[in-house]
Amino acid sequence: MRKFAKIALAAACFATAAVAHAAEPFKIGFIIPMTGPFASTGKQAVAGAKLYMQQHGDEVAGRKVELIIKDDGGVQPETTKRIAQELVVQDKVNVLAGFGLTPLAFAAAPIATQAKVPMVVTAAGTSSIVQKSPYIVRTSMTLPQTTAPIAAWARDNKDVKIDTAVTLVADYGPGHDAEKVFVKTFTEKGGKVLESIRSPMANPDFSAFLQRVRDLKPDALFVFVPSGQGTAVLKQFKERNLAAEGINLIGTGDMVEDDLMPSMGDEVLGIITSHHYSAAHDSETNKEFVKAFAEANDGMRASFMGVGAYDGMHLIYEALKKAGPDATGDELLAAMKGMEWESPRGPIRIDPETRDIVQNIYIREAKKLDNGERYNVEFDVVEMFKDPGV
């Protein structure tokens, strides 16, 4: 009798342990600005992450996947760090993801290192981010990677004569990267940069800066502003009649992001930018993605912020499949290194050494299509371009 009870007790314990394991979800702590000046980034990223789950289910390798979304407001690194800490300590997340802006990714990096939890950066773009923790993997882009091709295009193209330029960048990590790489590439190819101007990171007023550009009268103005600020730049550019002065507006695709194109006026037409994603990218994978994204989000057009998060979820799902349901953070990280797949943006790969994204960078022109809608139409490409650094 006593023996039977013991066995029954052991069986009960075993059953409880098994149930506890099966019921333990795989948790992804997704930190992104949903409020404040960069809320549009969070809106896109959350839509991208949710669409991936909607299409691929919430069970991977026999484990239920739980997406925990946290709004960090976008401007306080200390807030992002505290949220990352809470997600790791209290929620015991298996992966951290998101990170809308560079200072926020920098702030959370030590938490990922201490907790040995992979940190998938789906939005921020300063080159050095991947060096801040061996647990960081990036699915967005780097500013040197997206800037070098437009700087080269400015000098190499046969249609528009661009001998002089002024740079205008947001005054923080990605802007400094963009400025440095633009000046270097453009100058090496014989161009002359007349002046480098920096605007505040959040809520800038571009009017005085653009007046200065008008006075300098360069052949081109190169702009990097973070996602969400492009409309304001274009409005001021138009109001000051810079195009009539013969100043060509060029930049990285952050300025003319896809979800803003419908609300930008025709002043956007003709602007040449380089970037890793356009909603008009011509592939079956992208057409299906853009359609599904719009259907799930009241017609919203997918932008590079949505794609970064969508691909971030793919990376996490595939790593979990490959490393198995009981994988540690280190095992998940190992599975992510070297992963390659077809994204809506084209083929992409995670460089196993740097943990950074390798991808095509396209040169695009803003055009009106036959259906009357404005898109960034890709016309040239630098294939599988690694971050060149600064």
Nearer to ligand VNL, 80 or 286 (CB): 80
Q: Which is nearer to ligand VNL, 26 or 224 (CB)?
A: 224
**Interface with ligand VNL (CB under 6 A), residue from 29, 31, 36, 41:** 41
- Complex with ligand VNL: residue 45 or 316, whichever CB lies closer: 45
Q: Which two tokens stand for residue 244?
A: 């009539």
What one-letter code names the amino acid at 123? A
Residues 146, 274 contacting (CB under 8 angstroms): yes
Q: To 10 degrees, the CA torsion angle through 296, 62, 139, 297? A: 10
Instruction: State in angstroms the smallest separation of the CB of 204 from ligand VNL.
Output: 13
Bridge partner residues of 357 (DSSP):
350
Minimum distance from CB of 121 to ligand VNL (Å)?
Answer: 9
- Of 126 and 343, CB closest to ligand VNL: 126
Q: Which residue has tokens 């359609």?
A: 291
* Stretch of 46-54, 95-103, 331-339, 367-375 lying at the interface with ligand VNL (CB under 6 A): 95-103
Q: With binding defined as CB under 6 A, does residue 127 bind ligand VNL?
A: no
Cα→Cα distances 313→128, 186, 285, Å: 22, 36, 16
Choice from 126, 145, 231, 303 touching ligand VNL (CB under 6 A):
126
Which residues, in sequence order, are CB contacts of 59 under 8 Å at separation 6+? 65
Distance CA 23, CA 11 (A): 18
Report the distance separating Cα 372 and Cα 365, nearest Å. 15
Residue 38 found at the interface with ligand VNL (CB under 6 A): yes
Min dist CB 210 to ligand VNL, Å, is 20
Residue that is written with structure tokens 């940069």 in the block:
193
Q: Tell which one of 29, 118, 174, 344 touches ligand VNL (CB under 6 A).
A: 174
Report how far residue 296's alpha carbon sits from residue 358's, in angstroms, rounded to the nearest whole number: 29
Output the DSSP codes for 330-371.
HHHHHHHTT-EEEETTEEEEE-TTT--EEEEEEEEEEEE-TT
DSSP state for residue 58 in the 8-state scheme: S
Q: Report in angstroms how near the CB of residue 134 gets to ligand VNL at its nearest.
A: 20
CA distances from 340 to 8, 26, 207, 279 (A): 49, 22, 43, 21
The site map against ligand VNL for 236-255 (x = CB under 6 A) is ------------------x-
| Binders in 1-30 for ligand VNL, by CB under 6 A | none
Considering the rule CB under 6 A, would residue 329 count as an interface residue with ligand VNL?
Answer: no
Pattern of binders to ligand VNL over 285-324, x per CB under 6 A? ----------------------------------------
Find the binder of ligand VNL among 36, 48, 118, 125 (CB under 6 A). 125
Chain residues binding ligand VNL by CB under 6 A are 38, 41, 100-102, 124-126, 173-174, 226-227, 254
